[in-house]
Amino acid sequence: MALTTLGCKVNYAEMAELAGRLAGLGCDMVPEDEPADVRVLNSCAVTLQADATTRQRLHRLRRRDPGCHLILTGCSVDANPDRYLVAGSDGRPGVAGLDAVFANTEKLRIADHVAALAAGRADPLHRLPPAGLRSRAFLKVQDGCDHRCTYCVVWRTRGASTSVPEEVVVARAQAAVEAGHAEVVLTGVDLGSYGRDRGSDLATLVSRILEGLDGTARIRLSSINANDIPERLVELNGDPRLCSHWHIPLQSGSDRMLRAMHRGYRRQRYLRVVEGLRRQNPDTELTTDVMVGFPGESPEDHEATLRLIEEVEFLGCHVFRYSPRPDTEAARLPQQADDATLRSRSAEVRRAAAASARRRRQRAVGRQHRVVWDRVAPGEAHGLTDGYHEVAADPVPGTRTGGMQTVMATGVEGDLLRGSILPEPGRDEH
């Protein structure tokens, strides 16, 4: 059984939950690059390119395992209800030879579907303990989106915003820590709207989770919009158990473009949030998403984005060119940018973002960082700091995948920090 995930952290959280369910049923979970009897692809449709990647990956998975039972789920299914067909009883194959298709709202049925397949197997399944897909635990706490950004189809594919009850999230977070995860990532399609359907909010949820944590585990938030970060949440950035890394989508530094996109914040609001977060913790790192070439974007609008990138100093920027999605308001707007303009502006933003990231990495040298290890091999360990810097260091006794240790950053190597693992207080490393 192999799982492939494209797109956002919500998709990864969903597949981590599915992996646990499947393993509990006795499925032998294997990495994507190994042979598998059953494969599940959790897709993304946030852009036309994401849709194309889904189709390409389906064909690749089918070529890799011609006889596998191939299952597709995720946003591409909801965004393209007439495109993905399953193999019919008449013997005609569906798209990429799909054997089953599940919409976002049907994902929980995948485990039952696989169990039904397994019931017909002659050989017994190997029973494994439930396990996640990554060294850190991803908890999906919210789904859906009530916003109507003019370029986006996610609000259609995911439906209205809904939240997992606080007590359920707190219990799952505690269970993840007890299982050995040093980092728990709270994810959501529109994470900042958490709790509104239940008379609560994200700051309250995070505070409750932090109450049960000591210094051996931490919480990280996935993407959250600037207009969904109130002062109560900003204040929590001073707590060392909450990762000092915030992914706050920007899309544009121009108020005119933000208004046309129907984004719920403006330039000054964005900068006030960044200022507040760094007031609580000066070492806070920011990552973001930037869209170039939105219909009607002028050279002045583009320059406003470049200036804001320089002012904020992002550690990372996901830069993508606008592409019109059918049945969106933006697709009907005039002044659609030509390909040459899109490519030129994208290159400029990427250069500005790369320069910003280099400055942030240099500033991280000479500081101590708490690192959760994603990969530990003889001679080298790789992990992420609380500020989302990638770090490489020589392992010491006690270094394990999913564990957390303190590292002194000693230099920069390309896109990562090189560091030395420091002894933990009260621990004899010899």
pLDDT band per the 50, 70, 90 thresholds, residue 18: confident
Contact (Cβ atoms closer than 8 angstroms) between residue 368 and residue 407: yes
Quick one: what percent of the chain has pLDDT higher than 70? 89
CA 399 to chain centre: 25
The predicted structure's pLDDT at residue 128: 31
Q: What is the pLDDT of residue 112?
A: 73
Q: How confident is the model at residue 229 (pLDDT cuts 50, 70, 90)?
A: very high
Please give the residue that has the higher pLDDT: either 277 or 66: 277
Q: Is 80 exceeded by the pLDDT of residue 316?
A: yes
| Beta bridge mates, 183 | 218
Residue 24 confidence (pLDDT): 61
Read off the pLDDT of each residue in 384-390 and give the average, rounded to a whole number.
96
CA distance to 91, 190, 336, 381, per residue, from 101 (Å): 17, 25, 34, 38
Q: How far apart are CA 61 and CA 33, in angstroms?
A: 9
- Per-residue pLDDT at 85: 59
Tell me, what's the pLDDT at 208? 96
Kindly report, residue by residue over 139-177, the tens digit of the pLDDT.
989 988 988 899 888 777 788 899 999 999 999 999 989
Highest mean pLDDT among 23-32, 69-78, 88-97, 290-299 belongs to: 290-299
pLDDT bin (cut points 50, 70, 90) of residue 126 is very low
Q: Mean of the pLDDT values across residues 5-11?
A: 80
Predicted local confidence at residue 326, as pLDDT? 79
Looking at the DSSP assignment, which residues form a beta bridge with residue 233? none
Asked if pLDDT for residue 212 goes beyond 60, the answer is yes
Per-residue pLDDT at 132 exceeds 80: no
More confident residue, 340 or 24: 340
- Domains in the chain, CATH or no CATH each: 2-119 (3.40.50.12160), 137-363 (3.80.30.20), 365-421 (2.40.50.140)
How large is the average pLDDT for residues 352-357?
Answer: 96
The pLDDT of residue 227 is 96
pLDDT over threshold 80, residue 394: yes
- The residue with greater pLDDT, 111 or 282, is 282
How many CB atoms are located within 10 Å of the residue 250 CB?
Answer: 25
Q: What is the pLDDT of residue 81?
A: 64
Give yes or no for residue 234 having a pLDDT over 70. yes
Pairing of strands 183-188, 218-221: parallel
Task: Lowest mean pLDDT of 46-50, 73-77, 396-400, 413-417, name the range.
Answer: 46-50
Q: Kindly tell me if the per-residue pLDDT of 121 is higher than 70.
A: no
pLDDT exceeds 50 at position 93: no
For the ranges 47-56, 330-339, 356-365, 369-378, which has the lowest average pLDDT?
47-56
The pLDDT of residue 119: 59
Question: Residue 147's pLDDT is what?
Answer: 87
Mean of the pLDDT values across residues 33-57? 83
Q: What is the pLDDT of residue 427?
A: 53
Confidence label for 430 from pLDDT (cuts 50, 70 and 90):
very low
